[in-house]
Amino acid sequence: MSETPLVPPRLKNDCFAMPQGVDWVKVDEALARLRDILSPVTEVETLPTADARGRVLAEDCVARRSNPPAANSAVDGYGFAHAATGDGVQNLPLVDGRAAAGQAYAGEVPAGSAIRILTGAILPPGVDTVVLEEDCATDGNRVAFDGPIKPNANTRKAGEDVAKGEVALEKGHVIRPPDIALLTALGIAEVYVYRPLRVGVLSTGDELLSDPMAEGGADKIYDANRPMLLSLIESWGLDAVDLGHALDDEAAIRQRLDDGAAKVDVILTSGGASAGDEDHVSRLLKSTGSLSSWRIALKPGRPLALALWQGVPVFGFPGNPVAAFVCALVFARPALSLLGGAGWREPTSFVVAAAFSKNKKPGRREYLRARLNKDGAAEVFRSEGSGRISGLSWAEGLVELPDEAINVTPGVPVKFLPYSGF
């Protein structure tokens, strides 16, 4: 394993620029652009395999030994050489001693003899086949069973699971508990992994109460996006960093972005990302010369502001919590996965019957707040109002309606994307 720290590639200032003349960007084109532009930005480190759950592999893991390392018995029974047995009742003398897991038999078993053998025991020389103890009679000196037995029955070949030198897990894989078992079994005690991506979250808006305990007037609302996005990022196994709340004031936002750029790999902001009078985030990002406002043909969602702040990518999401959540799932999730070394990630989706009606016009993709009913059909929230946070909470996923027109009636197949599959 190489110990020299890798230098993350720097993004170019104009990396988010859309080609001239592009007005509305289709969701798939926006995703393809992000996929092209972004690459892993975090350093790599070596960790004990046992401590690496949730980490992303920075190199392929090659088996240091085979699993199993030697041919062994898959059952408790009696082992012998297959060639010395045949059809009908077999009566074989037993050698003294036995073979057990971790206690190899020292001698060789002569052809025509058998040995008591237990699960996991290495097959002693002279043994290639095992008969299950339930199929045997024995008096301690002899063993009898019905032939024929298939050659190599009830045995495991050396390396039949994974052979030494094979790639067990590929670079970019996210380590889960079964992977820890696999790597450990293959003698891989340490892994070379990416440091978890640090993702900062900033909310903007004069109307926001940043303290959920505070009492406020009717012109104030609680900052719902920041805890939502922070917990979403945590649920993706990334390091979520709270960059707080800034009023709609360029100096205040600038200070938060400066603070964020010094300690995180990527910043998500919500609010003020459009091109209106109070859209201070986009105005400020424009001053860097790196801002690109992608007008994505998507509902819910408005322009996605993309920029670099001191070299750190900034995703400016709409303030609306429904739009912010959908944009985070659809755009941030695969992008953050790529930045963190785990590669581009497609959400899990499956086709189910619709349990709703909707005549959708062509032109933009729509994500509806949805969940499956007891028949496995997708029902959608009663309102498409973009301010309805309760619908986000009611839902268990999104129904994705295509860019084109579609007339959905009950029973029509639609694409359902569970929240957990992002």
Which residue in the set 271, 303, 313, 334 belongs to the binding site for ligand AMP (CB under 6 A)? 271
The residue among 297, 252, 290, 298 whose CA lies nearest residue 271 is 252
State the Cα–Cα distance between residues 45 and 277, nearest whole angstrom.
Answer: 45
Partner that binds at residue 221, options ligand AMP, Mg ion, none, CB closer than 5 to 8 Å by kind = ligand AMP
Which residue in the set 76, 207, 396, 403 belongs to the binding site for ligand AMP (CB under 6 A)? 207
Q: Does 303 bind ligand AMP (CB under 6 A)?
A: no
Which residue in the set 126, 159, 272, 301 belongs to the binding site for Mg ion (CB under 5 A)? 272
Q: Does 224 bind ligand AMP (CB under 6 A)?
A: yes
Identity of the residue, 199 or 355, whose beta carbon is nearer to ligand AMP in the bound complex: 199
Minimal distance, residue 355 CB to Mg ion, in Å: 35
Q: Does 301 bind ligand AMP (CB under 6 A)?
A: no
Q: Where are the alpha helices (DSSP H) in 20-86?
A: 27-37
Q: Does 347 bind ligand AMP (CB under 6 A)?
A: no
Minimal distance, residue 276 CB to ligand AMP, in Å: 7
129: its two tokens: 């086949």
State the Cα–Cα distance between residues 398 and 159, nearest whole angstrom.
Answer: 44
Would you report the helix, strand and coil content of the chain in percent, each value rounded to 5? 20, 30, 45
109: its two tokens: 């078993």
84: its two tokens: 């010395």
Q: Give the residue nearest to ligand AMP (CB).
A: 319
Identity of the residue, 260 or 271, whose beta carbon is nearer to ligand AMP in the bound complex: 271
Identity of the residue, 134 or 219, whose beta carbon is nearer to ligand AMP in the bound complex: 219
45: its two tokens: 């480190």
Q: Are 408 and 358 in contact (CB under 8 A)?
A: yes
Minimal distance, residue 27 CB to ligand AMP, in Å: 19
Which residue in the set 126, 205, 300, 303 belongs to the binding site for Mg ion (CB under 5 A)? 205
Q: Does 203 bind ligand AMP (CB under 6 A)?
A: yes
Identity of the residue, 206 or 396, whose beta carbon is nearer to Mg ion in the bound complex: 206
Q: Does 271 bind Mg ion (CB under 5 A)?
A: yes
Q: Are 192 and 46 in contact (CB under 8 A)?
A: yes
Which residue in the set 318, 340, 347, 391 belongs to the binding site for ligand AMP (CB under 6 A)? 318
Q: Does 316 bind Mg ion (CB under 5 A)?
A: no
Q: Does 68 bind Mg ion (CB under 5 A)?
A: no
Phi, psi of 299, deg, nearest 5: -130, 130
167: its two tokens: 């790639």
Q: Does 272 bind ligand AMP (CB under 6 A)?
A: yes
348: its two tokens: 């899990």
Phi, psi of 212, deg, nearest 5: -65, -10
Segment contacting ligand AMP by CB under 6 A, of 101-109, 224-232, 287-295, 326-334: 224-232
State the Cα–Cα distance between residues 303 and 275, nearest whole angstrom.
Answer: 9
State the Cα–Cα distance between residues 302 and 293, nearest whole angstrom.
Answer: 9
Write out the binding residues for ligand AMP, residues 251-270 only, by CB under 6 A: 270
Q: Which residue has the tokens 């509902």?
A: 299
Kind of pairing, strands 312-317 and 239-246? unpaired
Which residues make up the interface to ligand AMP (CB under 6 A)? 203, 205, 207-208, 221, 223-226, 270-273, 318-321
